[in-house]
Amino acid sequence: MTLVETLPRDAGDEMILAAVRRWIALLAADDVEAAVRFLYQGEGAGSLAASASSLRAGIARYEPGEPLRQEPARVTPAETAGGPFDPLAEVFRREDGTVSSVDFALPINGEWSELVAFFDVVPVPDGLALTLRDAYVA
């Protein structure tokens, strides 16, 4: 059983992006319940990842536009994604250097999509955790 993914307080950008990729891997494996448990559900968490059914429904609402494959949206592994778009993966930090948020394009149907997951990085007792604020076409 996967619990909330906890990162060290001094986690670098690559470690944070690797955590997002692990979350995407859970979705790609259709383990949406584990993907929900992976995220912190406290203050600031959006309703999109409050349950497996809401997360599934949110992803299913995305309709890939041209030039992407025209088929129902399914998250696929980040490691093998291709397509016409470059992957978006950006960590944002505050002026004091602490991490604040992450924007990460989701790989849909084997291609990098315009559907972006917006995460906040929040302090938890043992370090930092990701909370999904929202996901939409950006």
Residue 98 has pLDDT above 80, yes or no: yes
Query: What pTM did the predictor assign?
Result: 0.92
Q: Are 38 and 74 in contact (CB under 8 A)?
A: no
Distance CA 97, CA 119 (A): 17
Q: Where are the domains of the chain?
A: 13-137
**69-94 pLDDT, tens per residue?**
778 889 999 999 998 888 999 999 99
